[in-house]
Amino acid sequence: MNAFRRLTLAAVFGTAVLASAGAMAQSIVVASTTSTEQSGLYSFLLPEFKKASGIDVKVVALGTGQAIDMARRGDADVLFVHDKVAEEKFVADGFSAKRQEVMYNDFVLVGPKTDPVGTKGSDVVSALKKIASANAEFISRGDKSGTHAAELRFWKMTDTDANKGTGYKECGCGMGPALNIASSSGAYALTDRGTWLNFKNRGEMTVLVEGDKRLFNQYGVMLVSAAKHPQVKAAEGQKFVDWVTGDAGQKAIASYKIGGEQLFFPNATSAAR
């Protein structure tokens, strides 16, 4: 092989390596919630984002508290969760420049259709009081997720927070497993509506409490700070943030339905926090 051919092959090989490295760089990690992932939303959204950007997204679905911890360590490029207080602290601590609202749905209290303690039609605080007073079985995620944080806020609004009843149990698990436990044991549980609509193992469970304005469930998205963590893929991550809060992403969120029912409602026009 002459010198010219060797140089040509080296150049071609080098170009191929660079192209391959560039392709590998076109991917990001999004730390998010089990409830969002189990609703099926990402399976619907991410192919649309890939078409628009060429960027692959790996979603690591955890409880919101764990997802925030992951992003604080710099193990994710984007954080997409639903605990506004914790999200604002994440920004205040310098782990992101800003928080942007993306979408909302609501929480619902589900339980057996027989509703032995009479929660149906109550507001969420009254329903929890009835559950505690009757020592009815209630399955809590107990995992520091956004749903768990909301549940604890609601308990604090009752006069039974210190004594939730002997039927109160924490599973330390995601939304889907918590609903499976509740379904198999005839227990009550708090869930986001998106996961509930996508949940197939309902058994004798039904929605008992909904519509209380306190059950509003807002989601936010944040680009993890490259100043804190230089390994963060800021350019690619920002493209995801811009897309999910932009017209195309917002329309995609609105169009995701199960059985004709919309799971999430886009509201990214809200001011960044």
Residues with Cβ within 8 Å of residue 24, at least 6 apart in sequence: none
- In the chain, count of helices (H) and strands (E)? 11, 12
Examine the domain organization and report whether 27 and 12 are in the same domain: yes
At residue 15, what is the residue type? T
Q: How many domains does the chain have?
A: 2
Examine the domain organization and report whether 163 and 208 are in the same domain: yes
Residue 13, domain CATH: 3.40.190.10
Examine the domain organization and report whether 15 and 38 are in the same domain: yes
Domain of 111 in residue numbering reads as 105-215
pTM check: above 0.85: no
SS3 213: helix
Joined tokens for residue 262: 């919309």
**φ and ψ at residue 138, rounded to 5 degrees:** -135, 125
Examine the domain organization and report whether 190 and 135 are in the same domain: yes
Q: Which residues on neighbouring strands pair with residue 45, listed in sequence order? A: none
Tens-digit pLDDT string for the chain (273 aa):
555 445 444 444 444 444 444 445 599 999 999 888 989 999 999 999 999 999 999 999 999 999 999 999 999 999 999 999 999 999 999 999 999 999 999 999 999 999 999 999 999 999 999 999 999 999 999 999 999 999 999 999 998 888 999 999 999 999 999 999 999 999 999 999 999 999 999 999 999 999 999 999 999 999 999 999 999 999 999 999 999 999 999 999 999 999 999 999 999 975 444
d(CA 191, CA 189): 6
